[in-house]
Amino acid sequence: GSLKRGDGGSLKGKKIGQEGFGENGFALARMIFRLPKWLHNARFVFFSLREEAMSELDKILAYNASFVDAEQYAAYQTNKYPERKLAILSCMDTRIVELIYAALGVKNGDVKMIRNAGAVVSHPWGSVMRSLLVAVLELRVEEIMVIAHFDCGMRGLTAQSMLDAAQARGIPADRIETLRHAGIDLDSWFTGFDNVEQSVRHTVNMIRHHPLMPSNVVVHGLVIHPSTGKLTLIEKGERDG
């Protein structure tokens, strides 16, 4: 048979059930029970607010579930050894997340990519240098490119501006002083660079002359334009022997 609407019409073939109060279900319920228009509109406000209230983690997990279910990962499968035996140290800037791959003509599986603020090695025994050594000594990398970029946020960065920002976000001044008294050089640690080309040369030099870096590993230095992807060569490495 057919369902009778409040205005005397019929809803032949319409079903109420699994859709609950989804788009069609809610419209159907309104026709049956003659819901007022304000309540119909409130439904859209409710679901819009619910979507906006989702955290980035919730959105990513939801997308990831569909990504895996659709087996989209198949297009990215490779192994842990970079096909081109190349490691790249670059910046974390959002403008070059995908641009750098496109501008260099590399794809998933070609290179080991290491990113930080400024594409710098600030300490010979820090995590960036360790990552580069792992890439060379364990993962068959034979060539390293340091690729910074123009208009970098690390250029002109001062320790004072960073510490002021930390205090504005609730870090107490006495905690900062405690760190200073403990011998932590916050001024050097937080200070950026004045010239991106000089920063690249400094980082290339630290990598080349690290006591655990094999001498036959070639290290280059470049700067990429964050809008066009154009590369400027700063240091061209030569293979030793």
pLDDT tens string 111-143:
999 999 999 999 999 999 999 999 999 999 999
Checking if the pLDDT of 89 tops 70, the result is yes
**Taking the CB of residue 48, how many other CB atoms lie within 10 A of it?**
10
Q: What is the pLDDT of residue 48?
A: 58
Checking if the pLDDT of 74 tops 90, the result is yes
Q: Which residue has the higher pLDDT, 207 or 53?
A: 207
The CA-based angle 23-25-27, given to 5 degrees, is 70
Contact 186, 195 (CB under 8 A): no
- Residue 213: name the closest of 143, 159, 157 by CA: 143
Mean pLDDT of 169-181: 96
- Residue 235: name the closest of 193, 211, 205, 195 by CA: 205
Q: What is the pLDDT of residue 83?
A: 98
- Give the pLDDT band of residue 53 (cuts 50, 70, 90): confident
pTM for this prediction: 0.77
Contact 206, 124 (CB under 8 A): yes
Q: What is the pLDDT of residue 17?
A: 44
Mean pLDDT of 69-93: 97
Rounded Cα gap, residues 141 and 218, in angstroms: 10
**Taking the CB of residue 83, how many other CB atoms lie within 10 A of it?**
14
- Give the pLDDT band of residue 174 (cuts 50, 70, 90): very high
Checking if the pLDDT of 29 tops 60, the result is no
Checking if the pLDDT of 44 tops 80, the result is no
- Give the pLDDT band of residue 13 (cuts 50, 70, 90): very low
Rounded Cα gap, residues 188 and 154, in angstroms: 13
Checking if the pLDDT of 2 tops 90, the result is no
Q: What is the pLDDT of residue 195?
A: 96
